[in-house]
Structure 1
Amino acid sequence: MDPIEINPNVANFVRSLRDIGYTFEVAVADIIDNSISAGANDIKIYAIQHPEPFFCIL
């Protein structure tokens, strides 16, 4: 039998994560923690609110 590719519905996945308490803050903490575990030396976080909200982790 040949494998079948199934594309996930990202919107449903994000909603399910939010429903179990996976908040924006937890996601950011996860990214930072994973970066440190992977040996990152520098982690830069940028956030602005105007003219539109913008958040970036480098």
Structure 2
Amino acid sequence: MSGTEKSKAHAEQAKGKVEETVGRAVGNERMTTEGRADQAKGKSRQAKEDVKDAFRH
């Protein structure tokens, strides 16, 4: 996996986790949901890069 894509995936997951946690703390369901969505996008980006890596080797 390229370093930049890996970093983007991890950053997106971390951002989503923080957003979800803050949303839960303040009782904002929309923020919690958006945080979960960001985490899912990060995980899908990481999965896509893992598949690319599997075919490169």
TM over 0.5, shorter chain: no
Larger radius of gyration: 1
Which structure dedicates a bigger proportion of its chain to helix? 2
Normalising by the smaller structure, the TM-score range is 0.3 to 0.5
